[in-house]
């Protein structure tokens, strides 16, 4: 897995590539910590190029969501993989307040800007 942090026009974007699992969840956690240290109140997880995420990756993502919520922010995740998007809906993650699931990082940024 590769992770990069990008400053978008209206949000901080953490873009991941590959599979997110127990063997590399700490790398994602580290990138999210760096992004949140910038006092990001609008966070986009760009998982458009993620093909797999296990419970360790989900835990890292939900931990970041809790930190964003404590700071009064909003978070969105984008998936191009329909199975991953479906899993997040089944798990109920899509019903979390101030959390958006979208088809692209651009759509995620727009959703966060519209919700402000």
For 69-105, write each residue's pLDDT tens digit.
999 999 999 998 888 888 888 888 888 999 999 999 9
At the top level of CATH, the class of 2-114 is alpha beta
Confidence at residue 81, expressed as pLDDT on a 0 to 100 scale? 87
- Domain edges within the chain: 2-114
8: confidence class by pLDDT, cuts 50, 70, 90: confident
For 10-45, write each residue's pLDDT tens digit.
899 999 999 999 999 999 999 999 999 987 789 999
Say if residues 28 and 1 touch (Cβ distance below 8 Å): yes
Say if residues 52 and 19 touch (Cβ distance below 8 Å): yes
């Amino acid at each position: 897995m590769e992770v990069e942090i990008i400053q978008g026009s209206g949000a901080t974007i953490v873009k991941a590539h590959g599979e997110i699992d127990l063997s590399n969840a700490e790398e994602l956690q580290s990138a999210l910590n760096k992004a949140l240290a910038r006092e990001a109140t609008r966070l986009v997880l760009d998982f458009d190029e993620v093909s797999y995420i296990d419970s360790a990756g989900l835990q890292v993502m939900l931990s970041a969501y809790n930190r964003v919520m404590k700071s009064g922010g909003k978070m969105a995740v984008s998936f191009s993989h329909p199975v991953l998007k479906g899993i997040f809906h089944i798990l109920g993650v899509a019903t979390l307040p101030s959390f958006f699931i979208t088809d692209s990082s651009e759509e995620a940024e727009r959703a966060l800007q519209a919700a402000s």
